Structure formats: structure tokens, C-alpha cells
A and B are shown apart, each in its own frame.
Chain A
Amino acid sequence: MISRELIAASTEPLVLSLLQRGENYGYAIAEKVRTFSKGEMEWTEGMLYPVLHRLERRGLLKSRWEAVNGERKRRYYSLTAKGRESLGKRRQEWLAVHETLTEAWGA
């Protein structure tokens, strides 16, 4: 099980990465995290939404509402140009950390 601190730190890049593949909604994002991490990353699902909203406020994401099954409506999120840029940067950071750690352990 991955520690809380690490999950908190990785949430934003993870969400951005998952949305890189196209727009999606909250539940599906949470599901994907569960599948990808093979259950290693345990989220309180509700906590995903403040993160999404924060990212949207910072202009990294945009969202739209879509009606499904008549009365219900769903909120879809997608990356903005700024979001892509930020993801690129984050990606490099995480890769650097990963490489450093691999190097350190490998030696």
C-alpha cells in the first residue's frame, strides 16, 4: 500500500495523465486509478472532486455538463493546452525522481 503523502503528491499528475487520453468523468477516473495501480493506491473517491475542481480553477482542466438518461447529468473533464503543458513538466519531474531512485537503488 502506497503511503498517504505519496498519493497526495501524485494525485494531480495522475489525474492529468488519465485525462490526456480524452475527456472523462469522475467515477471513470477513480476506476482507472484503481485498475492501473492494481489496488495499491487507495483513494477516498470523494476527494478526487476537490482536486478536479482545483485543477479547473487553475485552468489546467475544463469541464462541461452532459445530460444522460433523461434527468441525470454528468460532468466531463478534459485537458486544456495549459494542462498539457503542465503535465509535460510534471512528467519530467516524476521521471527525474524515478531515475534518481532507480540509480540510487541500482548502485
Chain B
Amino acid sequence: MFDLEQSLRQWRQEIEATLAFSSEEIDELEDHLRFSVDAKLKEGLTPENAWTRSLGGLGPASALALEFAKDKLMPALWRLLIAWWRPALLLFLFGLTFSFCVQQGYQEAQPGYIFDPWVSEPKLWGMAWVCLVATLILLPDKAQKNAVLAGIGNAFCLIPLLHILFYNPLTEKIIGTGWGHMAASFGWLPISLSLICLLVLNVWWWKRNAANEEISVLLAVAGTLILVLALSPFVGEGIGNLSIREVYHMPTASEVTFTGNIQSDFLKWKFVDVLIVSVIYIANILPFGLALLICAGIFIIRGLARNRVIKAPMRNEIFPSLPTLPWLMALVGSGFCWVLGSFLEPPVSQNLRQAEKAVFHPSTNYGGLEIMVLLSALFFFICGYELTRKLARASRIRLFYAAMLVTFELVMGLGLLPLFPALPSDSPPTVSAEPEWLTWLLGLAVLLMAFCQTFLMIRKLRHQVGVISLWKFEGRNLLELGLTLGLIFAGSGLILYMVAVVMAFESTSVISAMIAWGNSIKDPAVNHFYPQIYGTPDHLAFWVTSGIGYLSFCLAAGLGAVIVLSALEFIRFNSFRLYKIRKARQGLAETLVLSE
């Protein structure tokens, strides 16, 4: 049975989601629709037909949104901000408190005591409750309410992540003095399980209740957390300017290189250190950062496409909604590995090989690697299966979509590649109790899946991806261009990464030579290749910040690129419309002149 009120509600929701209309404008349009339906009912149409025809007469929501938005000359993102400033503010406040409390918790933790990120527990919970109550009272909109709740939930998800990061025997090896025992007291399994449960719960909640725009707010929270943590070394004691520069090693490297000022031993040491570290960071940032960029881009573009304020190279019926999330999670999961690598790298490893080993080797008795690989494989399988199914069903595969997929597969596949050569050689950083064959088997399965899928996809889409697509690019859509370029960058990143890996595995490589040179130089401060600054718990915050610094860098770059591209696309699309209108007027004027 057709229900007019229900249909009207649905239509209202749909049109509200475009964010191109004020509520008064929607009221007005609704009034129009009601009139139209009434008139058609009087003509003798069935309610359903009357509704369909009235809707047709009014025009599609997308066209209306474009017309209304054009008039306001207000980019969709700006409108989003206006519509969502209240939840964003709440989440910002919560994020601020959260970062502060967690950081304080880590700073106050001492070796030998049970580390407690809840050292500021009352403050944290207090703020959470304030946020929750404020949310329930201040935010009338259900979607906004859910966004804040899910945001807070996501923030709490970070806690077990931080636990995993700091409480494992490997970390103990690095920073020493009993930290690892606490890991034993917490245990990997319960932490991992709680992490998974929280994530699943969040995902479920999100998919069930939240609006599409929520992702922007979630990104805002992540951004706040990242920003606060990244800025903390500027505030904290004991971490001077040098450390801040260390957070972004690259400038230091170029500074030393280009000024040629490597007279002192210290600078020589610095040069070597920075050079090696740079290679690892390039390897870490490029694939992960670009993957994250693409991911953020998908969400934003998808949001805008759904709002249809801009023309996006993608349709919802082709882009699967549910599998997006596992995909994102898989990417972030693999990204997490890379960031973890950045955390571990200088003290544990003197080259990339060691760093990879540190990340991937089953050096714990708690199954860290297995969980990681199994999770990756699971996510990978779910989204891979879904994507393949959808692709097979879709009559026409979009370049954008295909490109994302292939990039993802490559990043995943290649990301796991270093696992193998690193494993059987030398002795691992810590004693392993794991059977090697299990690691091999798991890794092999994932790799096999990655490459099979990549191969199949490339075979199927070979005319649509990569350089060929740039060749075929017709300039219709700047987003497409941006993403194609992103793809090419990602490809370059992967190549660089492979080069770095090969260099690391090469025993007579440049890096090894550099290390040998570096080892021959005595660091004036501690008479050691790596100064103690890296290894003391006092500077734990530094490693937190540096890892999060990279993450923020990737996120900022990705978001920035996407926002700029979206804005450009918005301007281009609208100026094209204006151009068409002007031309039409000109044509009319010419006709009139001719007639005279």
C-alpha cells in the first residue's frame, strides 16, 4: 500500500542529504509536491502514479540541488561545515581532552609499574559524559547524534591500539626495563579481541544509524587527535628543536646534504642516520599515504557524489557501500603496520630489512603477526570477494573504481612481500616461539590472493587503468585526472619502495656501506651509533608523535588534495554552466540582430 507521507519523508531525507537546500526551501518544495499530488488525485490518478508524476514534474533532486547550490555559490564542503559545526565542535573538545589524557597517561607511566592510560581517567570519562549529555540535549538531529557517539566510540578504540603498541615484548626489547611484563599482564589476545569487538560494534553502529556525512566528522576527530599529538613535542620538556626536526626527517636530510656541512662527527652521524631513515620513511609514506589519500578521497567524493552537488565519476550502484569499510580497515590495518615500522626502526634496526623483520617477525609469544595477517587476510577476502562480485555484475566498470581496486591490491600485495626474505635469515630481534611454517603459510596465502586478484583485475581492466587511462583522459572531469595522477604517484611510490627493499636486502648495498661508515664515526654525545635519546622511555612521546606525525602528514596531504580537487571541480563545473548560459544568450542576441 502506497503511503504518501512515508514517501514525502523519504524524499525530504534524500533532498536534505544534498545540503543544497535550507529547510524553508524544502518546506516550499514539499508544499508544491502536495499541491501537485492533490491535483493529480483529482484527475483520477492512483496515489502512486500521482506521486511519481509529481516528482517527475518537480525535477530530479540532483538537478534541483545543482540549481539551488549554484545560486548560493557555496561549495558543498563549506555547507557541510555549517550544517555540522555543532557535532564537530563537540568532537573537537572530546578529541582534545582525549589526546591530553592519553598523553598524560603515557608520560606518567613508569617502568615497573602497570602502565595506565587511564591515569587521567576521571577527566576523560568526565569529558566523555559531558559530550554525551551535550549530544543528547543539544543535537536534535539523529544523524548528528550518532556521529558524535560513534566518534567517541572510535576514539576509545584507540586505547587498545596504543596498548598493543606499547605493551609487547618487542617494545620491551627496544625501550628496555620491564615494560614488556606489563604486556604479559595485559595479554595480546584480550586486547586484540576487545579491539576487534569495538571496531565491529562501531562499524555496525555506523552503517546502521549514521549519515553519510559522518565520515567528515570522524575525519575531523582523527585530525584533532593527530594534530594535538603531533604538536605535543613543541610543548613537552626534554624534546628540543632537534627532535621536532626528527619528526620530519626529510628536511634535516636535505639541509645536511645541501649545505654540505658535514664537518663534525655529529653531523656525519646525523647524515647517515637521516639518510637511512629517509629511505624507510619514503617506503612507508608513499604507499600507505597514497592508499590513505585514495581512501579519504573515495569517502569525500562518494559523499559529494551522493549529494550530487558535483559531478563525480562514480555511481553508487557500482560502488558497494558495505564492503567499503572493510576495505578501508584493511588499508588502515596495513598502514598501521607501516607506522609501527616507523616506530620501531631506529633502535631495532640499522637497515630496512631489520625494520621489516621487527614489524613482521613473530617475535612475540602472543601471536601478534598471526592476528595481523589473519585480519588482513579476512578483510582482504571479504572486500576482494565483494568487489569482484560487484565488478562482474556491473555492465560498465568505471575507471576510477577499477583503478582504486588495483592500487589497493598492489599496495597490499607488495606490502607483505618483504616478509619472506626477511624471515629465514639471521636471528630475529627476539626469540621466536612460533613455528615458521605457519607464518610462511599465512603470508603466502595472502600474497597469492593479492596477486591472483591483481592479475585478474588487470587482465580484465587493462584498457582502463594506469597510463592508458591518462592517455584516454578527455578532460571531462578534474577529479578523474587527479585520481589518475594519484595512481601514477602510487605506482612510482611502489617502485621506489621496491628499490628500497632491494637495496636493503643487498648486503653490499649503499645503505650497508653507509652504516659501516656511520658505525666508524663516534657520536660525540654517547659514543654510540644511535644516541640514547631514542631509547629512553622519557622520549616515548617522541615516537608516538613521529608516527602520528607521518599519519597526519599522509592524511593532510590526502585531504588537501581531495578538497582542492573537489573545489576545482566545483568551480569548473559551474563555470562551464555559466559559459553555456552566456553562449545561449549570445546566440539569442545574434538571432535577433540577424532578424533585424
Contacts and interface: CB of A to CB of B under 8 A. Distances in A.
Secondary structure call for the B interface: helix
Given A9-B585, A45-B36, A47-B59, A74 B592 contact: no
A64 to B, nearest CB: 12
A104 B596 contact: yes
Interface stretch (A15-23, A49-57, A83-91): A49-57
Interface string A3-20: 011101100000000000
Contacts of B581: 8
B456 interface: no
Interface residues of B, number: 28
Contacts of A97: 592
B239 to A, nearest CB: 54
B59 A101 contact: no
Interface stretch (B60-68, B191-199, B224-232, B545-553): B60-68
Contacts of B59: 44-47
Contacts of A38: none
Contacts of A8: 581, 584
A100 B27 CA distance: 43
Most chain-A Cβ atoms within 10 A of its Cβ — which of B39, B57, B70, B581? B57
Contact of B29 (A44, A46, A104): A46
B58 A26 contact: no
A6 B588 contact: yes
Contacts of A47: 59, 63-64, 67
Contact of A27 (B27, B36, B71, B592): B36
Interface residues of A, number: 27
B584 A5 contact: yes
B4 to A, nearest CB: 13
Interface string B337-354: 000000000000000000
B27 A73 contact: yes
Given A100-B595, A104-B596, A45 B587 contact: no
Contacts of A6: 588
Nearest to B21: A49
Given A8-B584, A9-B585, A45-B58, A50 B67 contact: yes
A75 interface: yes
A44 B63 contact: yes
Given A5-B584, A6-B588, A26-B28, A50 B596 contact: no
Q: Which 10 A-B pairs have the closest CB atoms?
A: A44-B59, A46-B59, A27-B35, A5-B584, A46-B58, A46-B64, A104-B595, A27-B32, A50-B67, A45-B57
Interface of A: 4-6, 8-9, 25-27, 30-31, 44-47, 49-50, 53-54, 65, 72-75, 97, 100-101, 104
9 contacts: A8-B581, A44-B58, A45-B59, A46-B29, A47-B64, A53-B25, A75-B24, A101-B592, A104-B595
